Amino acid sequence: MERHIGVRLVKDMAFKGLICLLAFASALPLFLILYYITKNGIAVIDWSFLLNLPRPIGETGGGIASAIVGTMMLIILSGVISIPFGIATGIYLSENKEGKLSNTVRLCVIVLQGTPSIVIGIIAYIWVVAPLKTFSAISGGIALSIMMLPVIIKTTEETLKLIPYHLKEASLALGVPYYKTILKVILPAGLSGITTGILLSVARITGETAPLLFTAFGNQFMNLNILKPIDSLPYRIFYYAMSPYPEWHTFAWGASFILVIFTLAFNLIARGISAKWKIQF
Amino acid sequence: MENTVLRVENFSAYFGDNKILKEINFTVTKNIVAALMGPSGCGKTTLIRCVNRMHELIPGAKVSGKMYLNDHDIYGMEPIVLRRMVGMVFQKPNPFPTMSIYDNVIAGYKLNGLRRPKDEFDNIVEQSLKKAALWDEVKNALHRKGTFLSGGQQQRLCIARALAMNPEILLLDEPTSALDPKSTSQIEELFVELKQNVTMLLVTHNIAQAARVSDVTAFIYLGELVESGPTEKMFTVPKDKRTEEYLTGKFG
Amino acid sequence: MSKNKSSAGIDGSEKRFSRILTASGAFIVVLLIAVFVTLFMSAIPAIKKFGLSFFISTSWNATAESFGALPFLVGTLLTSLLAIVIAIPFSIAISIFLGEYFKEGAISNFLRSAVEVLAGIPSVIYGLWGVFLLVPLVRSLELKLGVIPHGVGILTSSLILAIMVIPFSASLGREVISLVPGDLKEAAYSLGATRFEVMTNIVIPYARSGIIAGILLAFGRAIGETMAVTMLIGNSSFLPTSIFSPANTMASVIANQFSEATGIVASSLIYIALVLFLVTTIVNIVGNYVIRKIGIEASKEVT
């Protein structure tokens, strides 16, 4: 009888040990990746890297300025499109908890969220690149905005659902029209949650490459024209990484370092806002 | 007739096919506290919400009959216009969390885009907070957000917010049921002074509160207005048997 | 005695505002339908030419204008399934670790943050890391095993996919496990069970459907993953013969070949995209349905 218990206790400890081992092992790749990015990336980074344009094959030096600017432009473009639609749809869903249309919309949001980014890239190609007969920043912006929409819609809906009904009532009882109540009372109360959602979705698309492969396409030159191809950090990393030139490989690490910093920064700011601006009811 | 602020004539209210209020007839005269009392679910909250047409916000809600606010047909006017003439205080204090105390008081103006010169707003804020007996406690913190206030203070802020619009009648839906006894009695004292300024229609499930603060009481049971009259009389010599049973605690 | 309509209590501006909101919602539905229709229409030339035999044909030959998607279907299935198989033990371990053993505290926060950061690293960076650090490793493994040392191929892609997919299913699993009612566990402990026994006999069976849903959603993610796979799979349009073969997945063949494709090639690639879209949609709908049934909000943490 005692031996039996002993065996069980050993099993218990072994299981716990195994779980801990596997769990920490999963975190290992993270450190490996961050370590190599930092190690290889930092060596490349200097002001020349950040401020110069890429140089053609054969020439040494150059930088990723076009990519950094391009990424920012794409973020702005896709934000301009997706933020209004996303918030409006989020408000719609939180105000219409049931009903055929709202349930259908929710289903569509789930489907859109799970759609592979390469498929969205193809859609943007067919809708924008083919008719305009050129790769362009706007097509990349549209592709990215389709990817941002589900996250913004979801977080807006979730945030607004948490706002107590009596706040709306107080405003309506003062004779404030419904739309003003939503815009001036409810939305401000949910601002932190909505902003967090926006920042998280920006963090997500900053690193997306697949939708840009046949839309924004990449550009060695600085470009602010939305109807022309535009560079971006992820695209540049891809391009450099797949090239046969060792110097370009180091550039890929450097660009990765910058990209990871951007992504982490957006994530941290989002979490920070979520904690600090939280409103108590 | 000139003294009547609210006149309810043969008024019924429905949720879908459910008749919640049955042909209510009732009047409220100027500068009194009128209490609506009755067991939970009797329809008193529905009645008060019909006065500022908040009842209609629920899908499937219907009404019939007439209500007059100072001779204006309540159901013949634009709801937003009506609601600016009627003030409402809710069961749970609900100051706007993103606005300062100052902005909360004049929220009715600001949200409706009604502009006034700054000193007029300052005056409105001070007067309203004084009427709500909150001025002394917050006069040095007007630009802080109202969430640091206690429950009782928050409720007085909501009262100030409603008063700032100079309503013709102030509706109060169980305003003290979420508050502690001390705050409750502070607000009940407030009612006594307040009625000189504004007419009040109060819903309460607390019989003792109705007895303490109101001049006129109406007893609502199962959607019917069973009896109404001067408070003292109703509580000492109720005319209807149901009223007597309610007052003696036989139900709800 | 007139009965007023209930909408009279709501003012005219609400109607306008409501219409704008409804239009916005409807727009999303329209968008999704447009996506499907676009893919379908653009794939029609290929559908017409190859029909359903597209999926059993293995040739991908531009000159012969004969295209079949079987190599890519196999590539996708192999990489995704292998990735899931590799990821499951780790992701369940994390779920149990965070959902049961270390629900709070510094270690919990540490691991939870690590998982979150892992989830946020862009795919292309995983690819980059894979190219320079994973490929040499696999290459030396292949040399040891006497296989052609491509370095890239199914195995390498599966490994990187596994790493990418772990945070996704772990976060879901953790939620499900931490939601197991305390009194169930207490009943088991009061009968003298060890923690291990409570886990395996009570908690995991109870959380089973949530864990499966997490795996399903992770599978859906793996199928659609593009960049890291593209960089590590070797871009071969032939049917893979072993896990060391270079190959292509549905997503990676599109990434590799679409920008220069025209005519029937482009249409075939879009046909593949259509299939990819349908498969991920079904997997996601099923996964989300299961999650909703067990009543938790899945994509809160990792999107």
pLDDT of B184-229, one tens digit each?
999 999 998 898 889 999 999 888 899 999 999 999 988 889 888 9
**A165 in Cβ contact with B97 (< 8 Å):** no
**B235 in Cβ contact with B214 (< 8 Å):** no
What is the tens place of the pLDDT at every residue in C167-180? 888 888 888 888 88
Q: Phi, psi (5° rounding) for residue A242?
A: -85, 0
Place C6 in a pLDDT band, splitting at 50, 70 and 90.
very low
Residue B235 burial by CB count (10 A; 0-12/13-18/19+): exposed, middle or buried? middle
Mutation target for B interface from C2, C3, C6, C14: give the one with most B CBs within 10 A.
C6
In chain C, the residue whose alpha carbon lies closest to the alpha carbon of B83 is C9
pLDDT over 60 (residue A203): yes
Q: Which two tokens stand for residue B216?
A: 């006129």
> Which candidate, A262, A112, A276, places its Cα nearest to that of A193?
A276
**C234 in Cβ contact with C152 (< 8 Å):** yes
Q: Are B97 and A177 inside 8 Å of each other by CB?
A: no
Measured distance CA(B203)–CA(B189) in Å, rounded: 16
In chain C, the residue whose alpha carbon lies closest to the alpha carbon of A193 is C300
Residues with Cβ within 8 Å of C9's Cβ and at least 6 positions away in sequence, in order, are B53, B54, B55, B56, B57, B61, B79
Q: What does the pLDDT read at residue C78?
A: 92
In chain C, the residue whose alpha carbon lies closest to the alpha carbon of A31 is C114
Q: Which two tokens stand for residue C215?
A: 């795996």
Q: Give me the residues of chain B with pLDDT under 70, please.
A: 1-2, 252
Q: Which two tokens stand for residue C25?
A: 């919602």
Q: Specify the amino acid at residue C269.
A: L
Q: A122 by DSSP, 3-state: which?
A: helix
- Region C210-215: mean pLDDT is 85
Q: Which two tokens stand for residue A102?
A: 């709202």
Chain C residues with a Cβ under 8 Å from any Cβ in chain B: 1-11
Q: What does the pLDDT read at residue C296?
A: 57
Q: What does the pLDDT read at residue B1?
A: 52
- Region A175-183: mean pLDDT is 87
Beta carbons within 10 angstroms of residue C169's beta carbon: 29
Alpha-carbon gap: B26 to the closest alpha carbon of chain A (Å): 22
Q: Are B57 and A173 inside 8 Å of each other by CB?
A: no
What is the tens place of the pLDDT at every residue in C68-108? 788 888 899 999 999 999 999 998 889 888 888 888 888 88
Counts for chain C of helices (H) and strands (E), in that order? 13, 3
Q: Which of A19, A85, A242 sits opposite C24 (nearest CB)?
A: A85
ipTM exceeds 0.90:
no
What is the tens place of the pLDDT at every residue in C114-125? 888 888 899 999
Query: Chain C contact for A129, CB < 8 A?
Result: no
Q: Specify the amino acid at residue C170.
A: A
Place C208 in a pLDDT band, splitting at 50, 70 and 90.
confident
Q: Specify the amino acid at residue C106.
A: A
Measured distance CA(C236)–CA(B41) in Å, rounded: 73
Q: Which two tokens stand for residue B125?
A: 């804020």
Mutation target for A interface from B111, B144, B145: give the one with most A CBs within 10 A.
B111
**B199 in Cβ contact with B75 (< 8 Å):** no
Please report, for residues A183, A232, B224, C259, C286, the alpha-carbon distance to residue A219 in angstroms, rounded to integers and kept in the order given.
40, 8, 77, 15, 40
Q: What does the pLDDT read at residue C11?
A: 59
Measured distance CA(B37)–CA(C195) in Å, rounded: 57
Which value, in Å, is the radius of gyration of the alpha carbons in chain A? 24
Q: Are A174 and B165 inside 8 Å of each other by CB?
A: yes
- Chain C residues in contact with B78 by the CB 8 A cut-off are 11
Q: Which two tokens stand for residue A252?
A: 């890929």
Residue reference for tokens 């000159």? C63
- Chain B residues in contact with C6 by the CB 8 A cut-off are 56, 58-62
Q: What does the pLDDT read at residue C299?
A: 41
Measured distance CA(C103)–CA(C106) in Å, rounded: 10
Q: Which two tokens stand for residue C185?
A: 């566990």
C57-76 as b/e, with b when 16 or more CB fall inside 10 Å? eeebeeeeeebbbbbbbbbb
- Region A122-128: mean pLDDT is 92
- Counting Cα atoms < 13 Å in the Cβ hemisphere of B188 gives 22
> Which candidate, B243, B199, B183, places its Cα nearest to that of B42?
B243
Mean pLDDT of the residues in chain A: 87
Residues β-bridged to residue B72: B69
Q: B202 by DSSP, 3-state: which?
A: strand
Q: Which of A171, A175, A279 sits opposite B97 (nearest CB)?
A: A279
pLDDT over 80 (residue C13): no
Q: Are B96 and A180 inside 8 Å of each other by CB?
A: no
> Which candidate, A189, A208, A93, A105, places its Cα nearest to that of A148?
A208
Domains within chain B, CATH numbers bracketed: 4-247 (3.40.50.300)
Place A2 in a pLDDT band, splitting at 50, 70 and 90.
low
Beta carbons within 10 angstroms of residue C48's beta carbon: 10
Domains within chain A, CATH numbers bracketed: 66-276 (1.10.3720.10)
Measured distance CA(A213)–CA(A217) in Å, rounded: 5
Query: Subunits with at least 3 CB pairs below 8 A relative to chain B?
Result: A, C
- Counting Cα atoms < 13 Å in the Cβ hemisphere of C69 gives 28
Q: Are A213 and C255 inside 8 Å of each other by CB?
A: yes
Q: What does the pLDDT read at residue C8?
A: 44
Question: Could you tell me the maximum CA-CA distance found in chain C, to the nearest angstrom?
Answer: 94
Place A153 in a pLDDT band, splitting at 50, 70 and 90.
very high
DSSP B222: T
Mutation target for A interface from B77, B92, B114: give the one with most A CBs within 10 A.
B92
Place C303 in a pLDDT band, splitting at 50, 70 and 90.
very low
Residues with Cβ within 8 Å of A276's Cβ and at least 6 positions away in sequence, in order, are A192
Q: Which of A176, A184, A280 sits opposite B147 (nearest CB)?
A: A280
Query: Chain C contact for B113, CB < 8 A?
Result: no
Q: A224 by DSSP, 3-state: which?
A: coil
Q: Which two tokens stand for residue B153?
A: 């203070």
Domains within chain C, CATH numbers bracketed: 71-300 (1.10.3720.10)
Query: Chain C contact for A268, CB < 8 A?
Result: no
**C233 in Cβ contact with C156 (< 8 Å):** yes
Strands C3-4 and B33-37: unpaired
Mean pLDDT of the residues in chain C: 84
DSSP C131: I
In chain A, the residue whose alpha carbon lies closest to the alpha carbon of B151 is A281
Alpha-carbon gap: A197 to the closest alpha carbon of chain B (Å): 19
What is the tens place of the pLDDT at every residue in C179-207? 888 777 877 777 777 788 888 887 888 88
Place A177 in a pLDDT band, splitting at 50, 70 and 90.
confident
Q: What percentage of chain A exceeds 70 in pLDDT?
A: 98
pLDDT over 80 (residue A280): no
> Which candidate, C203, C229, C193, C186, places its Cα nearest to that of C92?
C203
Q: Are B56 and C7 inside 8 Å of each other by CB?
A: yes
Residues 189-248 in A contacting C (C-alpha not used; CB under 8 Å):
200-201, 203-204, 206-210, 213-214, 217, 234, 237-238, 241-242
Place A78 in a pLDDT band, splitting at 50, 70 and 90.
very high
**B80 in Cβ contact with B56 (< 8 Å):** no
Q: What does the pLDDT read at residue B252?
A: 54
Beta carbons within 10 angstroms of residue B239's beta carbon: 12
Alpha-carbon gap: B175 to the closest alpha carbon of chain A (Å): 13
- Region C250-279: mean pLDDT is 89
Measured distance CA(C9)–CA(C279) in Å, rounded: 47
Alpha-carbon gap: B53 to the closest alpha carbon of chain C (Å): 6
Which comes out higher in pLDDT, residue A54 or A215?
A215
Q: Which of C1, C3, C9 sits opposite B79 (nearest CB)?
A: C9
Q: What does the pLDDT read at residue B10?
A: 93
Residue reference for tokens 């229709």? C37
Q: What does the pLDDT read at residue B40?
A: 83
Q: Are B94 and A180 inside 8 Å of each other by CB?
A: no
Q: What does the pLDDT read at residue A58?
A: 67
Q: Are A280 and B107 inside 8 Å of each other by CB?
A: no
Measured distance CA(C108)–CA(C129) in Å, rounded: 27
Residue reference for tokens 């839906």? B173
Q: What does the pLDDT read at residue C64?
A: 67
To 10 degrees, what angle do helices A246-276 and A191-206 make?
170
Please report, for residues A170, B71, B137, B153, the alpha-carbon distance to residue B187 in angstroms, rounded to integers and kept in the order given.
19, 30, 14, 9
- Chain B residues in contact with C8 by the CB 8 A cut-off are 53, 56, 75, 79
